[in-house]
Structures are given as structure tokens and as C-alpha cells.
Structure 1
């Protein structure tokens, strides 16, 4: 088999019937496009059925299409939601994906191997060279998809699939990158084997710059994919991971551009174009939303919460363009005077009607620890002289301010806001019941979702929500303090939860907070007064020294639903795994039936992982 290498990307088959590498690269995108088209079709079908469903008493919409679709989705959930738990000692460092995601990742790897071995008879030294060039084209064609999965502002994959959450997109971004590592390894192996068959390998590595650049590109891929993107490294120091990822990726594209022949660089150009368009779109929105008469429009008030393990960040009066975020969405915040060249994703706790953006962030190593130390140092220096309740320490033109409000000292920093991003693919007001399960600071996503279901799920807003429940798992009483205002909004808004028919225009509510640590510090006087004020509430409970029964919680959410149930799980991989396993078990045991005994029914599960 002989190639005219300059025309490898043209035509379909060679004279002996083997596909040309460039044709296989195009077929790769035909498969990816078909998968995305099927996902878009499912999204349109799901949206259409959701619009057609009407809230009824006793029975769901009697459409045969609705029942068939409900049964199909439920059976798929039974198959794809479960995941295999790992031993406790290894779970902080490694966790397995759900069967659905794992199957998709495995299918992707099998697809790449199928493209590589299709009519690829590897017997002689010339076949080794042919295999090397085929795997090279398969490597290049994956670059645009990897880039698309990493974009934020113009993410076409998120649009057609409805997977706006960064957790899902990042998962497939990493696995497509592992597919790139697979094909580049095959390329390097067969090309080196070809050179070694003529005893040219040492010569090529010593004197041929193209070969050395190829080896360097493979080393960069292995460095990015294998060593520096594993979960322990990403969780250790996020800033180091991010900087290394950007620098290593730029270096990879530079070396790859030097290594690849000019006729094969089209996929490199496409990838760079996608990245440049996304960066340009993001920066246009950043400039529009953040630049004001005094240069930077926003200042972030930072409070180190009691106990010192969390930060409360507040941005007052965001611009109109930033007031349209949905519950569960996040923004990237950059503090020019603290860490000028990094941005960090934080989930928005407040609602747009509050007139402010509020975040509660768990203090870890790296940026959040440095920001807490910087805010504390400003607070300590501000106490050197007496002040009135809202006295500014320095002028508003300075980059940093500190002022004292009642008993808390707040540090103020200039901030740049990028977003919002993420969120669920469905409106929460369209479900019959909405259940939120959160651990720790995962409440920054769960509380806005529950609040939105309450405030927009009533009949006055054309909503279908009858009942909303919140289960929140925290280790210590002090973790509740930054969230008391949001909890008050919810508790004062809704009547008690009831599994019976709710004829009120406002959905009912149930809130359970589980304090799991036996060594939890006693509530502060402020928290004691707050807990006492809600002690008589029939739909608010604080349970100490006991974790919730996830199976019972999920069962209550689904069994009490006469329509479609929704569960939002916000926390680490362990709680997400437990909830999805419970949903799969319950749907399987229930035989996929409604609460009123009619056939059909399904449960929408939305998961939000820790971003920071």
C-alpha cells in the first residue's frame, strides 16, 4: 500500500480498498455528529413532551407517547445510573463513574480502536508506517472535540445535548483526551517500529527535528492527561493545576504545529479558532459587564465565617446582564489585587431578585486560603482605631477597602465576574415534586434550586410543583450561619409539606438538616435564637448525630409524585453515587409506576459537583 502523503486527506479509499487516513478522520466527525444529532432529537422530544404534559388530579396525561417515553427513560435510568462503590480508603482519591458514563467512555475508546484497525493489515514494515500515519490522522481529528468540550461561552456540545453542567462536560473532555493519548501512543509506537526495522531509530531521534518534535508532543500529552489531571493533583492545588494545564496545552499545540505536515494542520487551525472564538466571546462579555466609569464596576465584600473554614463573598447590585442567572449556576471570580492571573468558579447562592450575588466558599489550600488570610489581615488592621458602624477605612478609589458593620469586619476587594455558566437543562417549576439533597457547601446550589421551585413553581407562575423538600447534611452547627438568610426566605414562603393533594397556589415545603458530627460545637447565641424561632415549625427539623437514609429520602420523593419527580443532588462524588444508585433501585423495585398506580413515570436527576 502506497500513499501520496500530500493527498492523504483527500479521497476515500486507496486502490486496494483500504480507507485513506483523512477519510477516517472525516468519518470520525460523522459519528460524533450523529451522536450529537441523536442527543438533540432526544432533547427536543423531552422538551415537547414536557410542554404537552398538564397538571391533573389523579391521572397523568393519558398520551400513549408519554407513557412509552416515560417507561423508556425509566428503564434507561435503571441501567445507567448505578455505579460501583470503592473501599473507603481509596474513595477520596478515586471514584468510578456511573455505568452510563463509563459505558460511553468505553464505547469511545472502542470506536477509536475500530477506526485504527479497520482494514489495517499490519504485517510488514510498510504496514507499520501506514498504521503510524492512520493513527496520526485519528489523533489530529480529535483536537476540535477536546477544545469544544473545554469551552464555556460558545459550547455547541452543551447546546445540542443540554448538558450545561461543567461536571459532565469535563468528564468527557478528560476521556476524549485519553483517546488522544491512545492514538498518539499508537502513532509513536508504529513509527518507531518502522524506523527500527531499518535501524534508523537512533538516527531519527538524533538528527531529525520532526521526529524529536513528535516525541516531545507525545510527552506533553502524557504529562497533561496522565500525571497532572488526575483527581488528587487537581484537588491538591487548583491554581497550580490550572496554570500547568494552560501552559502545557499551549506548548503542545506549538510543538504539534511544528511536527505535523502542512497538509494535515486543518484540525489544528479549527481547534485554535474554536478556542480563540470562545476566549474573545468571554472577554467581550467580561468587558461589557465589568467595566464602569471608575474602571472596575464591582467590589466583593469578603467575610471569614465563624470557625474560619468558610468565606462569604457578596457582590452588590450586579449589572442587568448578570441578573439573569438560573439556580445552580456559577460564575468565575478574579480578584486582581489578590490573585490577578487566576479565576475561580463559585456557585451563586442568592437569587436574582435579591439584587446581589452571594457566595459561600469552603476554605481550602491555595487561593481560598490566601483570600481568607488577606481578608483577616485587613480586618485586624481595621480594628486598630474605633469606627462607626459603616465607616470606610480608606477611600473608594483604592483597590482594597475595609469597613466594620455591627459585629463583623468585612474586607472589600475589586473583582471581575465572568459568567454565569452551568445549571440544569430543565426548568424546576415544571416538575410535580422537587427534592434537593446536599452536603456541606453543596447547599450553595441546592438552596437556590429549592427556593426557585418554591417561588416559581406555583400556579400563578404557570408551574406544576406541589411539594419541595430539602435534605442538608453538615458536620457542624457553625456551617449553617452563612445560609440563615436563604433558609428564612424559604421557610417564610411556603406551607408545610404534605404528600396528599395540595390545592394551594404555593408548593409545600419540608426541610431536614442533619448534623453528623458528634463533636459539633454548640450553636452560637445567634444560631440558638434562629433555631428556637423555627422550633415549632412542623416542616423544619434539625437532626443531630445521624445521617439521613438516602433510600428513604429518594423513595419519598418519587413515591409521592403524581407527575414527574426531580432530584437535585449537590455535593461530592459519594453522595451523588448514593442518590443515583437509590433512584435506580427504587425505579426497578417499583416497576416504573406512578404514585396513583397508573403505569409510566420517571425521575429527573441533576447533579452538581464541587467546583472549588
Structure 2
């Protein structure tokens, strides 16, 4: 009761704010595109026979031009990360905001055409025309705009937290619908497909690349039941597999919900670097039972006959992903973890101990403090 009251009375969540650099970059891009769109006049032709609205065409092509970058920023394997060395999770903030920018200009494009085709009457005259005579490009354009808007609405944090698997599957299905309608809507007018085929190429290339890389790391996994709703997973990988402290991988269990892959932090990387005869080593994961895949794993372990809390099964591994920190360059390090969060802190602690034992030249850490709240 006391904990519940403290949670209700004292807990005040603060909204996360992007870094100053991110805010300035996103603001500069948005402002520049808006100035480019609205500073050039006229917005509309004097007569429809002179051609479509310049404002509608311009904003439509701006939205079209953002798509290759939008899709590249969304993928775990993407050319932007290869070129810059920035991990995909740090690029997600740019993917989210670029999606908002693309949708903004798509709506401006649609409204501009709605006003243009209804002239000289009010905008709702266009709705009457659309009801009686609906061109193919309008039908597909409205469908693409609805799919694009739904993609943004269904990607909010509330939806992701309520059901990540729904978000993931919905994101893929809605993207396929959007691209199908958008290809039909643009019909390569003004060479618009020059921006769309790179979208398909980046998406397909990333998917194939993940499949190929995952196929290189297919091994055996062992799930061991633990107390208080925690599971211990050991995955055998080839010695050539390399991961840094704090990185994570995506695990897929073909015999248990094989269509899903979930991220798990590598809690320990058991490797004897001095022994050249070792061909494989084990990665250790400590996870807390929740909904979905982790509960399926826990139930499979508990269902073993004779009370044996061990389950052996094949595992497909994709990764590693994630950024790392050079903690050894600091004088003092404070590590804080709660519950299963120790799986992220533990490899950082092991890395510090390993570097201290090797007397690395870049090791300056004098004090390490670990706080683990259970």
C-alpha cells in the first residue's frame, strides 16, 4: 500500500526532449522546406488548362524525396549507419521526425490540389466532383495518404507500449499498402519513381542482408528456468562472432514463435581469447518473464517433464547492434541497474575488469560503484 501511494503521489514522469543538435537539425530542415515551398509564387495557375498547382506539385515532390531517407533511417542495416558509424537506434529519432515532415508535406500537397480543382468555387465543390467523377490518381492518392497517416498514428509510444508485436506487424503491412497505393498514385509522373525504387532497394537489401547474416549465426540455445520470473539463456556462437560491452542482438527461436525476433542485451560473453583451439563460445542472456515470447519460453521450460528446468532449442541470432561507451577513460564510473537491467550493466563491469587486467594504455578508471536494485 505504501509503495502504491508513493507511486501515485510522487511519481512525475518528464517528457523526453531530443538533444539540442537534433532539435536544431530537424528545425532547420523543416523550416527550409517550408520556405522553399511557400516563398515561390504563384501557388495556383490562372486556369486549370495551364497545368496543376505549383504549390501542390512542389510539396508533393518534397514529400516524395524524403522517402528514401525515411526508410533508410528505419532499418537496422542501412547505408547511413555504414557511412557515419552511427548505430540504427540513435537514428530512430530522425526517422520519426522525418516521417512527420513527409506527412506534413503530403497533406499540404493534398489540400493544395483540393483547392485547385474546386476553383472558382469553395473547396467542398471538389468533394462533389470526386463523388461523381473520381480519377484513378485521386483514389490511390487518398488511399496512400490514409495509409501514411495511419502509419504515424499507430506508431506512437502508447501503441508501442500497449503491444509491440501489433505495432511491428502493422508497420510492415501498412508500409506495403502505402507503397502499393503510392506507386499507383504517382505513376512515374515527373520521374517520381526515381525516388521510390531506392526505397524498395534499401528495404529489400536490408531484409536480405539480415537473413544472410542471421544464417551465419544459427546455433543451439539453452533456456534455464530461474526464480522470481527470470530466465537464463545461453547461446552457442562461432568464435568469429564479435560483440562489444553493452550491445544487443535479436534472437529468433524457430520452434517457438519463429516469426518473431526480439532484442536482448548480451549479459556475458564467455571467451577464452588465449585458447586458439576454441571454435565456439557461449553468450549469456538474463531476461525477465513478461508477455509474448518470454512467457512462451518460460511456459516451455516449466512444462518439461520431471521438473527439469532446462530447455534446448535452435536459435537464430541477428546482430550485434547498439552503441558503446569508453568508460575506461573516466576516473570514476557509477553503474545503476534494476532487476533484469543488470544484464546491460554486467558486461560493462566485465569489460572494465578485463581492461584493467590487461593494463590497457587507455584505462584510467580508479573507482567503480555498482548499485543494483532488486
- The TM-score range, normalised by the shorter chain, is 0.7 to 0.9
Residue 302 of structure 1 is matched in structure 2 by: 223
Shift of 1:300: 2.0
> Does 2:346 align with 1:447?
yes
2:194 aligned to 256, 261, 266, which one?
266
2:36 aligned to 103, 107, 115, which one?
115
CA contact (8 A) 2:45 2:54 kept: no
CA contact (8 A) 1:430 1:457 kept: no
CA distance in 2, matches of 1:156, 1:470: 38
Residue 5 of structure 2 is matched in structure 1 by: none
Q: What per-residue deviation string (whole Å, max 9, x for no partner) do you get for residues 363-414 of structure 1? A: 22222223322322x23x343xxxxxxxxxxxxxxxxxxxx4xxxx112222
Residue 72 of structure 1 is matched in structure 2 by: none
After superposition, the Cα gap between the structure-2 partners of 1:196 and 1:341, relative to the gap in structure 1 and judged at 3 Å, is same
CA distance in 1, matches of 2:146, 2:44: 28
What aligned pairs does 1:21-420 form with structure 2 within 5 A after superposition? 91=13, 95-122=16-43, 129-153=53-77, 155-164=78-87, 166=89, 168-197=90-119, 199-204=125-130, 206-226=133-153, 228-262=154-188, 263-290=191-218, 298-308=219-229, 310-316=230-236, 318-322=237-241, 324-353=242-271, 355-376=281-302, 378-379=303-304, 381-383=305-307, 404=308, 409-420=309-320
CA contact (8 A) 1:457 1:463 kept: no
Shift of 1:419: 1.0
CA contact (8 A) 1:303 1:411 kept: yes
Aligned pair count reads 348
Structure with greater helix percent: 2
TM-score (normalizing by structure 1): 0.53
Task: Look up the SS of the partner of 2:214 in the other structure.
Answer: helix
Shift of 1:288: 2.3
Residue 469 of structure 1 is matched in structure 2 by: 368
CA contact (8 A) 1:325 1:352 kept: no
Shift of 1:180: 1.0
CA distance in 1, matches of 2:38, 2:253: 50
CA distance in 2, matches of 1:108, 1:468: 43
Q: What per-residue deviation string (whole Å, max 9, x for no partner) do you get for residues 296-338 of structure 1? A: xx22222333112x3221113x11332x111111111111111
Moved more, 462-471 or 172-181: 462-471
Shift of 1:121: 4.1
TM-score (normalizing by structure 2): 0.84
Residue 277 of structure 2 is matched in structure 1 by: none
Shift of 1:239: 1.1
Shift of 1:161: 3.8
RMSD: 2.6
After superposition, the Cα gap between the structure-2 partners of 1:102 and 1:202, relative to the gap in structure 1 and judged at 3 Å, is same
Bigger-Rg structure (1/2)? 1
